[in-house]
Amino acid sequence: MRHSFTAVIEKNATFHEDFETEPYECAWASEARWFIHVAELEGDGASLSARVQVSPDGLFWCDDGSAFETISAPGMYSLAVRDFGGWLRLDCGLDGEGSRVRLMIYLVLKE
């Protein structure tokens, strides 16, 4: 039986500016899949970007190299990652004039 765990990293959270998700430990898993469920995305030219970041210690971060395609409408979006070491987070950018996003972010880990 394989191990699996789904963490709700952001729950019905509203953002008006760029943000990073909280650090999440994932050393036990060899595969991961992010889900971003955008419930609302408002503002003139509003869009959301999300880059995967990794870290050796949960304190200092760098880009993993993978990223979601730019999100410009409500909906469910997903991205798979591997070889991420011990920690994962998303570095999210909110573009557009007076933008606002309300969303869920899930991290599904499997070993």
Partner 1 sequence: MSHAAADIRLSRFNPLPRILAFDDFDDGLHGWCELVGNHNGDLNELQPVFSDMRPAQLSTCTFFDLGTHGAVDGTYSMKLATRPRKFHQAVAIKRLTSAADGLVQFEAWFTYKAEQTFGAKDPGARAWDGNYHPSEAHFGSFTLWNDICEGTEPRDRYHAALRYENTNEEGEFTQRWLYKTGLHPTTRMLREGFDSNQNDVHVAKPDMWAPIPGGDQQLCFNEVPTKVNWHYLRWLFDLSTRRNTELQVNDLTMDLREIPVLRFEEGYWGINRLLNLCMDVRTTSNVRNFLYLDSVVISADW
Task: Name the nearest CA neighbour of 49 among 87, 103, 86.
Answer: 103
SS3 state of residue 21: coil
CA 14 to the chain's CA centroid = 14
Interacting positions 21-50 with partner 1 (CB under 8 A): 22-25, 27-28
- Determine the Cα–Cα distance for residues 28 and 104; give it in Å rounded to an integer: 23
Stretch that binds partner 1, among 20-28, 41-49, 72-80, 93-101 (CB under 8 A): 20-28
- In the chain, the DSSP E strands lie at 4-15, 19-20, 24-25, 31-54, 62-67, 75-82, 87-110
**Residue 59 C-beta: closest distance to partner 1, Å:** 5
Total interface residues for partner 1 by CB under 8 A: 20
Stretch that binds partner 1, among 6-14, 42-50, 65-73, 93-101 (CB under 8 A): 6-14
Q: Which is nearer to partner 1, 47 or 55 (CB)?
A: 55
Q: For partner 1, which residue of 17, 40, 56, 78 counts as binding (CB under 8 A)?
A: 56
Residue 23 DSSP class: P
Q: For partner 1, which residue of 43, 74, 86, 96 counts as binding (CB under 8 A)?
A: 86
Q: Which is nearer to partner 1, 56 or 93 (CB)?
A: 56
